[in-house]
Chains A and B, each alone.
Chain A
């Protein structure tokens, strides 16, 4: 009950944009979707989020789409001998009874060719396609350009 009130309070604070929403599809739960404000639209944006799998079978995030960008892609930042590179990720594994986070320095959804300026405090929808569970859409909260973690609490808190 406390959690519901907390969620309601957050929703009320953010207006009709439904920031900090948690969505589910099959055994998967997606939460804490956030992005950083952009300067204009020339540079790529980014989306981070957490996926939990309460099911007994592995799944995988295969692709994302969003009206905010013409060319969204899944990437993984990898550090090899002190050098960071950012290969394209064909899929992001979501282990059975486990979770995976898209977070700074790891997996991330990169928004190439932004179609709009990402304004701090606003939200935009992102649709995730999972190999087995199918599609689900979640609102992404745009945080400060210097943000390094989600302001939305984990669904457990």
Chain B
């Protein structure tokens, strides 16, 4: 059977589409799994804006409220960071028992653009962490969160990342306590924290 140029093109298009569908299934597969009952202790080892390497051990005795994001994210990252700020204000005297962390998934650019000035604009208590590519991937894997540079916007010369936008709560002992999905009202997070502190 001889194929015309158009037919070849169409078959190529079908192949591309099949690969794309396959890729979507792979992505779906990588979404966070339900958390098992066994102790789950996500960890990280990442420098803060001053270059000091931070691990969960640095925050002993505190609950960690962890958000993965990037400072070039104009829509949902500010919304979540503003919520964290609200939570910290509403906790009042108990705020010292909670450490909010902003882990950059675009660390090189975020360091260049100023990580600390960004997190401080929302709340002085939020600590920004930005490592190298391997440290960042290791932290994300440990939290079972997903991030990737968005290819669909690259063609338009726009740089963006897709990522899991939840807030993760870690106990002072380092155990995973749960996640607040994007859009959880600050009042709900405060109530949950107050019941634990």
Do the two chains bind? yes
Give chain A's interface residues, CB within 8 Å of chain B. Answer: 36, 39, 42-46, 71, 73, 75, 77, 79-88, 104-105, 108, 110-112, 145-148
A79 to B75, Cβ gap below 8 A?
A: no
With a cutoff of 8 Å between Cβ atoms, the chain B residues found around residue A44 in the complex are 72, 74
* B75 and A108 form a contact (CB under 8 A): yes
- Please indicate the chain B residues that have their CB under 8 angstroms from the CB of A147 in the complex: 82
Known: A39-B117, A75-B75. A86 touches B160 (CB 8 A): yes
Number of B residues contacting the other chain (C-beta, 8 Å)? 38
Q: Which residue of B lies closest to A84 (CB)?
A: B165
As a 0/1 sequence over residues 145 to 173 of chain B, the CB contacts with chain A under 8 angstroms (1 = contact) are 01000101100111010111110000000
Q: Is B32 an interface residue (CB 8 A)?
A: yes
Contact A43 B153 (CB under 8 A): no
B195, CB-defined interface residue at 8 Å: no
Chain A nearest CB: distance from B140 CB in Å?
12
Smallest Cβ-Cβ distance to A102: which chain B residue: B75
In whole angstroms, how far apart are the Cα atoms of A131 and B76 in the complex? 28
Distance A112 CA – B156 CA, assembled complex (angstroms)? 11
Complex: how many Å from CA A31 to CA B81?
Answer: 26
Residue from A45, A83, A87, A88 within 8 A of B74 (CB atoms):
A45
Contacts of B156 in A (CB 8 A): 73, 88
Q: List 20 A-B contacts (CB under 8 A).
A: A44-B72, A44-B74, A45-B74, A46-B78, A71-B157, A73-B158, A75-B75, A77-B76, A79-B165, A81-B31, A83-B146, A84-B164, A85-B152, A85-B160, A86-B75, A86-B160, A88-B156, A146-B78, A146-B82, A148-B83
Residues of A contacting B183 with CB < 8 Å?
Answer: 105
Q: Are B32 and A82 in contact (CB under 8 A)?
A: yes
